[in-house]
Structure 1
Amino acid sequence: MLKLITGETVKLFSLRSTWIYLILSAAAMFAAALLIMWSWGRDEPVTVPRLFTGGDLSMIIVVFAAAMMAAADLPRGTVAWSYLSSNRRTGMLAAQVPLIVIAVTAAVSLGVGLAVPVIYALGGSVDFTMGGGTTETVVSYYVQWVVFATLAALLAVILRSGAFAAMIVIAEIFVVEAMLGAIGIDALRPVLDLLPLANIRVLSAGEFADVTHGRLTAAVILAVTVAVFAAGAALIVRRRAVR
């Protein structure tokens, strides 16, 4: 397994596109934090939740980056070299997806981290007090990044297209779940109960909108969702032609 991880690491980070996606992910959080400082005013300290206000914008970039990195060598057919070098295709997938998720999550974290000293350099300050929902906000964004980056990467493998995978996941987050949460139709509540973002918010805050179950059930639903996508990706990878 160590050889697979090493090989996937070299393959992933030897691509220029990987670094472009990671830089964009970090830049989105960095820029959003600075904009918040300017809008908040330099006389008032920027709170930690406001530092993470760019998390929603970053979600689009994180999903797109994860999907495109996972599908980087699929359309070109260069994945054939990986398949010919090892018969452990499922192991390759198991190494690739976590690496992508860790990379994009680290990138957005770096964006926030770099923004802090710049805020101080520009005459502002940051209030690092962890209270009043601060912890829940930070946890929510990290769980969102991890879950949706994982789903985007797995879906890209299934569809053999990073662009299609990213569009589907982004639409699910910002269109489907937003609409179901807003319209409040009783017949559609069971659907909202099963969707990822609603359960992430239940997991981080303990409750969300009309979702009736608690954190444990939300965690189980998220785990099952990821497992289903992972099983589908593994099945397709094992049957995919070497070309």
Structure 2
Amino acid sequence: MSSFLSSVKSETTKLLTLRSTLIYFILLGGSLGGPVFLYLLLSETPLKVDFSDVGIGGMIALMICIVFGASTTAGEISTKMHAQAFLTQQSRWNWLAARGLVASVFVVFTLALAMALTVLMIVIWPGATFVGEQNNTVWSLLIGGPAFTLLALGTAALLRSRVAGIGVPLVWMLVVEPLISLGGEKFDILKKLSDVMPANTINEIQRYYTLEGYGALMEDAHTPAFYLTVLAVWVVALLALGFFRNWRADVR
């Protein structure tokens, strides 16, 4: 346990001293605050804004989480920095688990701070009124952010390439899953497959509560618990593959 805590301390120091951390902090926070700022600026007043509006840039934020998780992990591997951890730490898994924990905490902190500052901006914006509804946006993003970071971390540890670690999850998210979803309109097997894909889980959770609020929820609609389970299974599976590859891979 002491070895793992030392790894967490090491990864925390590393994260806080890298210039790229500040860039990710700005990008992640700006992905939420920026779209809301433009929305307020270009909308007519008086204007009512709720938490669903705060999450307008949620998908952008999740993509940045993917880039952050994959880039920082694959960067350690490509520069052989993880080899030092193998020499100084008791077990190979320590550095990867510590990195996942530290990265997840960083993402949750940044998203929470960004949403809090965005709400403050709405409250003080002339002509805008904040309504504390659709708060599912808050907790779904606070779950989705670290989950997508860990998905990317597991993928990067498995593929051991910065380009592949970033590219594969983004292509899957932006190309493969939309095609499966489109095919699901004609083929039942693709419809069932699209229901257990990870990329759209957070959107589906938010959509569920929106439709429920309007009374337009279909009887066969999957619940948020279903989508959270799907996301958790994907995270565990990819992390398991990443940890296995990290355990077995040679360091040259």
Shorter-normalised TM range: 0.7 to 0.9
Q: Which residue matches 1:157?
A: 157
Q: What are the residue-to-residue correspondences of 1:130-209 with 2, within 5 Å? A: 130=133, 134-183=134-183, 184-185=185-186, 186-201=188-203, 205=208
Cα deviation for residue 100 of structure 1 reads 0.8
Cα deviation for residue 223 of structure 1 reads 2.4
Secondary structure of the structure 1 residue equivalent to 2:76: coil
User: What residue ranges of structure 1 are gaps of 5+ in the alignment?
Assistant: none
> What is the distance in 1 between the residues matched to 2:79 and 2:62?
27
Secondary structure of the structure 1 residue equivalent to 2:192: helix
TM-score of the two chains, using structure 2 as the length reference: 0.82
2:131 is aligned, of 120, 125, 128, to: 128
Q: Deviations over 1:94-129 (max 9, x none)?
A: 111121122123223322322333444542434232
The CA RMSD measured in Å over matched residues stands at: 2.7
Would the alpha carbon gap of residues 65 and 210 (structure 1) be closer, same or farther in structure 2, given more than 3 Å must change? Answer: farther
Secondary structure of the structure 1 residue equivalent to 2:238: helix
Secondary structure of the structure 2 residue equivalent to 1:242: coil
Secondary structure of the structure 1 residue equivalent to 2:251: coil
User: What residue ranges of structure 2 are gaps of 5+ in the alignment?
Assistant: 212-216
> What is the distance in 1 between the residues matched to 2:170 and 2:218?
20
Amino acid aligned to 2:9:
T
Q: Deviations over 1:121-179 (max 9, x none)?
A: 5424342322xxx1333333333322211101111121122332222212222222223
Q: Which residue matches 1:221?
A: 230
Amino acid aligned to 1:48:
F
Secondary structure of the structure 2 residue equivalent to 1:71: helix
Secondary structure of the structure 2 residue equivalent to 1:129: coil
Would the alpha carbon gap of residues 210 and 70 (structure 1) be closer, same or farther in structure 2, given more than 3 Å must change? Answer: farther
Amino acid aligned to 2:21:
T
> What is the distance in 2 between the residues matched to 1:85 and 1:139?
37
The alignment status of 1:240 with 2:243, answered yes or no, reads no
Work out the number of aligned pairs and report it.
240
Cα deviation for residue 73 of structure 1 reads 1.7
Would the alpha carbon gap of residues 42 and 66 (structure 1) be closer, same or farther in structure 2, given more than 3 Å must change? Answer: farther
**C-alpha contact (below 8 Å) 2:74/2:165 kept by paired residues:** no
> What is the distance in 1 between the residues matched to 2:130 and 2:143?
23
TM-score of the two chains, using structure 1 as the length reference: 0.85
